[in-house]
Amino acid sequence: MTMSPAPRLFVTAATGQLGRLVIDALLETTPASTIVAGVRDPTKEAAVAFRDKGVEIRVADYSSPETLVSALKGVDRLLLISGSELGKRGVQHRNVIAAAKETGVSLIAYTSILHADTSPLFLAEEHLETEADLAKSSVPFVRLRNGWYTEVYTWRLPLALKHGRLIGAAGSGRISSAARADYARAAAAVLAGGDHAGRTYELAGDASFTLAELAAVVAEASGKPMAYQNMSADNFRAKSLKAGVPEVFAKFLSDTDAGVAKGALFDDGGELGRLIGRPTTPFRTTITRFVQNQHSTGQAPSHK
């Protein structure tokens, strides 16, 4: 009896923070020869490291349709990691979907946002647009609606540690975050096999926290007083701008906190833990590690 060849698995944005972790998770259970990493720059250190492990590297630029058609030839299952260029993602994702349809990809897994269809966050708009485009494409797909990475909150900690105060506009809203690696492992599990077409996974951490509880964990980890100061979204945005935060990021921060206050990032369904087959990483673990690392090095790790 002739064995069917193993499906070719393609990960877009493979040298990004999530993409790298997805590739690493796939390599734990999947032959490197079946994995294709889509990158914009094949000379990048992460791309070279993948090639050294036996992973095929192909140039795939969301904004260059011709690279996408070439990159996706012979691919069976595709992980479309949402782009990072706000305002451009709708068009970029459509380029990938069109190329997947043209080349006969049998499944697209797309990293959307938690509760995209009801979320008050402005970030949800482009995700909903892509979900609609997927539905129109006739290519089987699965929605991986990711909640927040706990690592997102480490971006706010250096300034908070400097002033002994974490500011925000989230009120007592709860955040069901998980480590980025948890979401990567879920994406790898879906991409590697199983009957996932047509499914929508609302992915979030097993436990949740408020920003006041986050401040308490930072205080414990740093050994320094830390309080949470709540304010209006407009004031939070203004203070962020005054502190030197870029305008786009200040809007992101204030809009997210306003959404958190409305429950946008809370979910207790447990789907992420079930997909990865273990409890999600506690937020305390990620935050404590960051604070201790910053203390030992004197600076925050890069988030680029």
Residues 80 and 142 in one domain: yes
Number of domains in the chain: 2
Average pLDDT over residues 260-273: 97
Quote the pLDDT of residue 296.
63
Confidence of residue 301 (pLDDT cuts 50, 70, 90): very low
Residues 51 and 124 in one domain: yes
**205, pLDDT greater than 80:** yes
Instruction: Tell me, yes or no, whether 123 lies in a domain.
Output: yes
Residues 166 and 132 in one domain: no
Confidence of residue 99 (pLDDT cuts 50, 70, 90): very high
**Largest pairwise CA distance in the chain:** 69
What are the tens digits of pLDDT across the range 124-143?
A: 999 999 999 999 999 999 99
Q: How much is the mean pLDDT over the chain?
A: 93
**302, pLDDT greater than 60:** no
- The encoded tokens of residue 97 equal 């979907």
50, amino acid identity: F
Quote the pLDDT of residue 303.
35
Quote the pLDDT of residue 87.
83
Cα–chain center distance at 74: 26
Specify the CATH number for the domain of residue 23.
3.40.50.720
Per-position DSSP letters for the chain, written without gaps between them: -PPPPPPPEEETTTTSHHHHHHHHHHHTTS-GGGEEEEES-TTSHHHHHHHHTT-EEEE--TT-HHHHHHHTTT--EEEEPPPS-TTTHHHHHHHHHHHHHHHT-SEEEEEEETTTTT--STTHHHHHHHHHHHHHH-S-EEEEEE--BGGGGGGGHHHHHHHTEEEES-TT--B--B-HHHHHHHHHHHHHSSS-TT-EEEE--SS-B-HHHHHHHHHHHHTS--EEEE--HHHHHHHHHHTT--HHHHHHHHHHHHHHHTTTT-----HHHHHHTSPPPPHHHHHHHHHHHHHHHSSPPP--
> ∠ at Cα 252 (250, 254), nearest 5°?
70
Confidence of residue 297 (pLDDT cuts 50, 70, 90): low
Instruction: Tell me, yes or no, whether 82 lies in a domain.
Output: yes
Residues 124 and 14 in one domain: yes
Residues 134 and 160 in one domain: no
Residues 97 and 135 in one domain: yes
Quote the pLDDT of residue 101.
97
Q: Which domain holds residue 29?
A: 9-146
Confidence of residue 200 (pLDDT cuts 50, 70, 90): very high
**268, pLDDT greater than 80:** yes
**260, pLDDT greater than 90:** yes
Confidence of residue 4 (pLDDT cuts 50, 70, 90): low
Instruction: Tell me, yes or no, whether 79 lies in a domain.
Output: yes
Residues 50 and 77 in one domain: yes
What are the tens digits of pLDDT across the range 170-198?
A: 999 999 999 999 999 999 999 998 899 99
φ, ψ at 296 (rounded to 5°): -80, -30
Pair 127, 113: CB distance under 8 Å:
yes
Confidence of residue 1 (pLDDT cuts 50, 70, 90): very low
Instruction: Tell me, yes or no, whether 99 lies in a domain.
Output: yes
Residues 157 and 128 in one domain: no
Cα–Cα distances (Å) from 229 to 79, 152, 172, 252, 262, in that order, read 39, 19, 11, 18, 18
Quote the pLDDT of residue 245.
85
Residues 105 and 18 in one domain: yes
What are the tens digits of pLDDT across the range 23-71?
A: 999 999 999 999 999 999 999 999 999 999 999 999 999 999 999 999 9
Confidence of residue 295 (pLDDT cuts 50, 70, 90): low
Cα–Cα distances (Å) from 212 to 21, 45, 66, 93, 215, in that order, read 30, 39, 48, 36, 5
Instruction: Tell me, yes or no, whether 134 lies in a domain.
Output: yes
Confidence of residue 298 (pLDDT cuts 50, 70, 90): low
